Amino acid sequence: MGRLVMKFGGTSVANIERIQNVARHVKREVDAGHEVAVVVSAMAGKTNELVAWCTEASPMHDAREYDAVVASGEQVTSGLLAIALQALGIQARSWQGWQLPIRTSDAHASARIVDIDGSEIIKRFDERKEVAVIAGFQGINAETNRITTLGRGGSDTSAVAIAAALKADRCDIYTDVDGVYTTDPRVVPKAKRLDKVAFEEMLELASQGAKVLQVRSVELGMVYNVPIFVRSSFDKPEDIDPHGTPPGTLICSEEKIMENHVVTGIAFSKDEAQISVRRIEDKPGVAASIFGPLADANINVDMIVQNVSEDGKTTDLTFTVPAADFARAKQTITSAQDKIGYARFDSETDVAKVSVIGSGMRSHAGVAAQAFAALAARNINIRAITTSEIKFSVLIDAAYTELAVRTLHTLYGLDQV
């Protein structure tokens, strides 16, 4: 007997039939003797609809009221799943974020979890064998007593945080794929499902474009050492042995992985924009005058390349931002032109970032050099490069994204993993 947190995303609860399928998955684990808490997202498409309603009501809407509206999607799903479980004879009740409570910061639409009180749920495990069905993506700020939301993909974060608070043995993330792959199978049909991935590797994969898990959920799993199991919700519940190991990918500490591959996976993102600020006077404080205002505007800067002129008097700064933030980034920089003192602003939005990730890079030299040679052989020009201990990324023209990913996937032997 163990304690599990099971999380189901929007496609898994898209309609009543799928919610009833989820209920059968939960029943399987309850019948196996597990204590179970379930975290659910809104039904597929519902959050987008709620967001659109807020924008239609007023483009410049109050973020606090926005959260009150968009959090309702998960409330509906949690209630419906509790009803479906009760219909199967399972003791269950729904919980909203504020009822546990899940306490968060007051940054509406992108709040961070501060604390979770799981004592009442644990008490009900002991006294009633009751399944807790918890609305993901939401919490409450203790000072304002207002509902908050955690940002897109926040239900993953809710699930892992709740697993940590309940001291669960594992957090199962049920989704529309059966695990984490070496890259997107839609781009590389030969992509392989990974049995295990280290937290650090998954953090890089998620932050560099892999859509399977939300970055903050992986961070929480790593900090609190909560094993995360990514698996498919579309497998028939009746065909799965709850005491066996179903298809999926375990995200865990590196110590639990016998041998690391040099390269574990390749992630990519086309949601990038490149900005170049030309001929700035090369003196202390110039970088701060550019990146400070961007940070104040909550715009994340990723790849940064600096080129100093031959005479050492001026410098060019090139960097990337998320495509969704490009317009705000451009406005932020151009409005500070007098303070920065640059001569020209250049930009390019038709670019993509391709990242190669693997813990094995720590002990193997020349991994990046192999990639540069392989891309050059395919006439793929590299605009910028960034590296870390277990990852390197290249910025290329978006038109070459799929070719680059397939080339690198084959180069590192991932077709045969």
Residue range 262-292, pLDDT digits in tens = 899 999 999 899 999 998 888 888 888 899 9
Cβ burial 229-250 (10 Å sphere, 16+ → b, else e): bbbbbebebeebebeeeeebbb
CB of 192 within 8 A of CB of 263?
no
Query: Between residues 338 and 90, which one has the greater pLDDT?
Result: 90
Query: How far apart are alpha carbons 286 and 342 in whole angstroms?
Result: 10
List the chain domain ranges.
Answer: 3-255, 266-416
What does the alpha-carbon distance between residue 409 and residue 265 come to, in Å, rounded to a whole number?
8
Say yes or no to pLDDT of 417 above 70.
Answer: no
pLDDT of the residue at 357: 95
CATH of 3-255, one of 2.30.30.360, 1.20.1250.20, 3.40.1160.10, 3.40.50.1970: 3.40.1160.10
Tell me the pLDDT of the chain averaged across its residues: 92
User: Which position has the higher pLDDT, 257 or 354?
Assistant: 354
Q: Is the pLDDT of residue 309 over 80?
A: no
**pLDDT (0 to 100) of residue 246:** 80
State residue 364's pLDDT score: 80
pLDDT, tens only, 46-73: 999 999 999 999 988 999 999 999 999 9
Kindly state the average pLDDT of the residues 353-370.
89
- Give yes or no for a contact between 317 and 274, defined as CB atoms under 8 angstroms apart: no
- Residue 16, pLDDT > 80, answer yes
According to the model, what pLDDT value does residue 287 have? 87
pLDDT at 245: 77
Rounded to whole angstroms, how far apart are CA atoms 81 and 155?
15
Q: Give the mean pLDDT of 77-88.
A: 98
Q: What pLDDT score does 177 carry?
A: 85
Q: Which pLDDT band, with edges at 50, 70 and 90, does 127 fall under?
A: very high
Mean pLDDT of 149-166: 94
pLDDT of residue 47: 95
d(CA 383, CA 374): 15
Q: What is the pLDDT of residues 312-330, one digit of tens each?
A: 788 888 999 999 899 999 9
Same fold, 3-255 and 266-416: no
Position 129 confidence tier, pLDDT thresholds 50, 70, 90: very high
Domain 266-416 part of CATH 3.30.460.80: no
Mean pLDDT in residue range 125-136: 96
Q: Across-strand partners of 306? A: 317
- Look at residues 95, 90, 113 and name the one whose alpha carbon lies nearest to residue 35: 90
Note whether 355 and 391 are within 8 A (CB): yes
307 band by pLDDT with thresholds 50, 70 and 90: confident
**Tens digits of per-residue pLDDT, 166-197?**
999 999 999 988 999 999 999 999 999 999 99
User: Rounded to two decimals, what is the model's pTM?
Assistant: 0.87
**DSSP string computed for 40-101:** E-PPTTHHHHHHHHHHHH-TT--HHHHHHHHTHHHHHHHHHHHHHHHHTT--EEEE-GGGTT
Which residue in 138, 36, 134 sits closest to 77, CA to CA?
134
Q: Is the pLDDT of residue 235 over 90?
A: no
pLDDT over 80 at 142, yes or no: yes
Q: Stretch 156-162: mean pLDDT, rounded?
A: 97
CB 122 within 8 A of CB 161: no
The confidence score (pLDDT) of residue 78 equals 98
Region 380-408: mean pLDDT is: 94
pLDDT band at 259 (very low <50, low <70, confident <90, very high): low
